[in-house]
Amino acid sequence: MKLSYYPGCTMKNHARNFEESTLYALGELGVEVEELKRWNCCGTVYSLSADEVMHQVAPVRNMIRAKEAGADQLMTACSMCYNTLKRANARARANPEQLSRMNAFMYDEPIDYQGDVEVVHALEVVRDKVGFDAVKKKVVKPLKGLKVACYYGCLLVRPREIAFDDSENPTVLEKLVAALGATPVEFSHKMECCGAYQTVDKPEIVADKTYQILTAAREQGANIVAVSCPLCAFNLDHRQEVTLQIHPDLHTMPIVYFSQLMAIALGGDESVLRLDLHHTPPGPLLTESGLL
Amino acid sequence: MTAHITRHHLRNAFVAKVQRLAGQNLMACYQCGKCSAGCPMASYMDILPNQIIRLAQLGFEAELLNSKAIWMCASCLACNTRCPKGVRIAEVIEALRQIELRARHEHLKVEDIPPEVLSKIPPIALISSLRKFTS
């Protein structure tokens, strides 16, 4: 079964560290993915209005691109892309009347979308196609010394109907980091929202959330936080700057993508980690733990 | 606040519009408060999520559309996940934002975002913010 890869906008600039480490890790695990030759914005947020069909057109166009590439599955690693694409796809599948309106609107597309592409997340691929036991066998540099707070944010496992793990207490990230040789900590704030898009005009709210989330992570024994969403990464990492201004007692902490942890454990060198894109540098902790 | 509730309130066009846009039956809510208890943005809201639902049931249009709360929601869906009656509170709040935005009452003006913010934030932050706060 062919797996098409949908990167999304942020993976191509602010989150190059996420994309490069994901593609490296999947390659090491023998998962072949092919980036769509042409793709467009997923819309970033799923439209919650019941009468809204227009905003489903952009994500559904990407399904047509996957069909053109001969793929049955479209994989993405960004939580926001995953959520938007998967929910739009679910809506198209469940509402033939709405799907036919979308297809009618996209009259310039060579084929009609039939609802026959499955949207999958990179973590789901690693768990279900590779398996954590197989991941463990491929580890060349166990992540000893890393105590990881696995942070899911909102869009990876909510709402329940598109989730590939429990919506209240998911454990897929903990199982992954344990397979990589790290120690996952019990983390009370794994599902607590980082403030999401409020970061644009209300960064002070995001600063409060970041303070609460990182303080909880530290108190529960973590020395690093793993995420799967570039917006969570921005809010928890880059917003540490404004967080420190409002909450001077914040203990800064490195934030990494789960894929970067995979890349390190699977033998990737610094070039696939792109640590230059981080605000709070993970370098010192990784060096101290003998991982760089 | 003293509120006079009449049949006119309960059956007004605003209640019908919110229910239609949200795709929800507002009367399913029995005010348990779980949505507000778990809401990460509750402490920044002037009316709490369960109060939003109550006001919407009763047709309090101006109170809802002039509230700060509808713009504080981060659409994290914690409320929807926890509602024992299956009410999608986030969809109701989206409907309230949409009523404002479809009347071109913008919450955020792109030209007001400083260039130093624009140059720093990732595209998903900007696009999602514009999707939620502008028409």
One domain for residues A105 and A200: no
One domain for residues A191 and A244: yes
> In angstroms, rounded to a whole number, what is the distance separating the alpha carbons of residues A53 and A91?
9
- Provide the residue count of chain B: 135
> What's the confidence (pLDDT) of residue B10?
78
User: A197 CB near a chain B CB, below 8 Å?
Assistant: yes
One domain for residues A155 and A284: yes
Mark the ranges of chain B whose per-residue pLDDT is less than 70.
none
One domain for residues A48 and A164: no
CB contact under 8 A, B78 and A14: no
> What's the confidence (pLDDT) of residue A257?
98
Q: Look up the domain containing A27 and give its range.
A: 3-122
> In angstroms, rounded to a whole number, what is the distance separating the alpha carbons of residues A27 and A6?
16
CATH class of B7-103: mainly alpha
One domain for residues A81 and A162: no
> What's the confidence (pLDDT) of residue B5?
82
Could you write out the DSSP letters of every residue in A168-235?
SS--HHHHHHHHTT-EEPP-TTTT----GGGGTT-HHHHHHHHHHHHHHHHHTT-SEEEES-HHHHII
CB contact under 8 A, B127 and A9: yes
In a domain, A19, yes or no: yes
* Closest Cα in chain A to B129: A197
Q: Tens-of-pLDDT digits for all 292 residues of chain A?
A: 679 999 999 999 999 999 999 999 999 999 999 999 999 999 999 999 999 899 999 999 999 999 999 999 999 999 999 999 999 999 999 999 999 999 999 999 999 999 999 999 999 999 999 999 999 999 999 999 999 999 999 999 999 999 999 999 999 999 999 999 999 999 999 999 999 999 999 999 999 999 999 999 999 999 999 999 999 999 999 999 999 999 999 999 999 999 999 999 999 999 999 999 999 999 999 999 999 9
In a domain, A115, yes or no: yes
One domain for residues A146 and A117: no
One domain for residues A95 and A163: no
In a domain, A133, yes or no: no
Q: Are A17 and A273 in contact (CB under 8 A)?
A: yes
One domain for residues A111 and A149: no
| Chain A residues touching residue B95 (CB < 8 angstroms) | 48-49
Q: Which of A48, A80, A195 sits opposite B91 (nearest CB)?
A: A48
In a domain, A147, yes or no: yes
B112 exposure class (CB count in 10 Å sphere: 0-12, 13-18, 19+) = exposed
> What's the confidence (pLDDT) of residue B82?
97
A124 token code pair: 């789901």
**AA letter at B61:** E
> What's the confidence (pLDDT) of residue A1?
60
In a domain, A113, yes or no: yes
Indicate which CATH number applies to the domain containing A52.
Answer: 1.20.1050.140
| Chain A residues touching residue B23 (CB < 8 angstroms) | 50
> What's the confidence (pLDDT) of residue B2?
81
> What's the confidence (pLDDT) of residue A197?
98
- Count of domains forming chain A: 2
> What's the confidence (pLDDT) of residue B25?
97
> In angstroms, rounded to a whole number, what is the distance separating the alpha carbons of residues A53 and B72?
25
> What's the confidence (pLDDT) of residue B8?
80
In a domain, A170, yes or no: yes
> In angstroms, rounded to a whole number, what is the distance separating the alpha carbons of residues A33 and A266?
18
Percent of chain B with pLDDT strictly greater than 70: 99
In a domain, A163, yes or no: yes
Chain A segment 137-166 residues within 8 A of B by beta carbon are 154, 158-160
One domain for residues A104 and A197: no
Pick the residue of B75, B124, B130 with the most A CBs within 10 A to test the interface with A by mutation.
B124
In a domain, A84, yes or no: yes
Residues of chain B with CATH 1.10.1060.10: 7-103
CB contact under 8 A, B131 and A45: yes
